[in-house]
Structure 1
Amino acid sequence: MTDPAPTGSLPWDLPRFRNWIAVARAHQMVEKALTTRLAPFGVRLAHHDILANIYRFAGLTQNELAQRLLVGRSNLSMLLPELEKRGLIERRSDAADKRVRRLWLTKAGGELTERTLAVQAGVVTDMMTILSDEECQALGDYMRRISAGLAQWDTDQS
């Protein structure tokens, strides 16, 4: 169901649009805070996202990483060599299929990722403490429902 749009109304006059703007603004503010707090580690947010995913899913392929990050493989083609040059990740051939390259953190990459994950957890904790436990759970439930709906919408559009 969509909000009725009377003739001459502007998008921000619609409750659903205003609420979407609030979510987008909160997302931008969190990105800004993370960017500022990750900078002393020499890590950009895109680098942190890559490192955190490799930390959690060691040995994933570049294609799997691109899918998890919702980016094209071409986006990764510029970032992965930077992390490799810094000695934070390794790309290794898959034992079963030499065409596939799997991603692994080096010891230095794992240690850095643990520190940047702690920064991220701190930002999230600080941000979410303004909500009660029930509100926090409800927000998560709403976002998961919206994400599932968007994923289905994306599938329907294909």
Structure 2
Amino acid sequence: MSRDILPWDMPRFRNWIAVAKAHQMVEKVLGARLAPLGLKLAQHDILANICRMPGLTQNELAERLLVGRSNLSMLLPELERRGWVERRADPADRRVRRLHLTGEGQTLTLAALKVQAEVIERMMTILSDQECAQVGDYMRRIAAQMSLWGTD
């Protein structure tokens, strides 16, 4: 009697599950470390992207984030209400609104990025520099392969 090969019997499947579990644990730990700053992970992702690229439009930000556009449109007003983000008119096109951190938002984001860097550093210390570089290379290659498939 032949038995069908089940996904968890396949090394690639098992290894991917290990990657997914590691990602889930990093999100859990990072979320817990950001909580004392009053930040959720999705909020931090938005703030970090605006910090890295001040003046992004909402559409540009949505393309960079893993959160959906509808989620972004719900989160941005909250970040504005909290005084961390402001939308400014584009001098070249008044219809376009560009996203910027406020002074308070910048201070908070830099503190959150420090927390994130500490979590990542602690997580990656079990790897040699070469292994760390390999992990990055593998994940970039996997992302490139998946981007060929598209999302439809």
* TM bin (shorter chain): over 0.9
Q: Check if 1:99 corresponds to 2:95.
A: yes
Once the two structures are superposed, what CA deviation does each residue of 1:38-75 show, in whole Å capped at 9, x if it has no partner? 00000000000000000000000100110000333211
Unaligned 5+ residue runs, structure 2? none
The CA deviation at 1:7 is 4.6
- The CA distance in 2 between the partners of 1:111 and 1:72, in whole Å, is 26
In the aligned structure 1, how far is the partner of 2:40 from the partner of 2:67? 16
The number of aligned residues is: 151
- Relative to the length of structure 2, the TM-score reads 0.95
Q: Does 1:120 align with 2:120?
A: no
Equivalent-residue separation in structure 2 for 1:83 and 1:151 (angstroms): 30
Local SS of the residue matching 1:92? strand
Task: Give the SS at the match of 2:56.
Answer: coil
TM-score normalised to structure 1 length:
0.91
**2:42 and 2:67 in contact (8 A); partners too:** no
2:17 maps to a residue whose letter is I
Note if 1:40 corresponds to 2:36. yes
Matched with 1:3 is none
**Out of 132, 140, 144, which is 1:148 matched to?**
144
Any idea what the Cα deviations from partners look like across 1:86-120, whole Å, max 9, x if unmatched? 10000112222222211000000000000000000
Q: Secondary structure at the match of 1:104?
A: strand
User: Does 2:28 correspond to 1:21?
Assistant: no
Instruction: Supply the RMSD in Å over aligned alpha carbons.
Output: 1.3
> Structure 1 CA distance, aligned partners of 2:39 and 2:67?
19
SS in 1 for 2:8: helix
Deviations along 1:15-37, whole A, 9 cap, x unmatched? 11101100000000000000100
Partner residue of 1:139?
135
Query: Partner of 2:64 in structure 1?
Result: 68
Percent identity over the alignment is 68
Q: Which runs of 5+ in 1 are unaligned?
A: 1-5
How many Å separate the matches in 1 of 2:4 and 2:40? 42
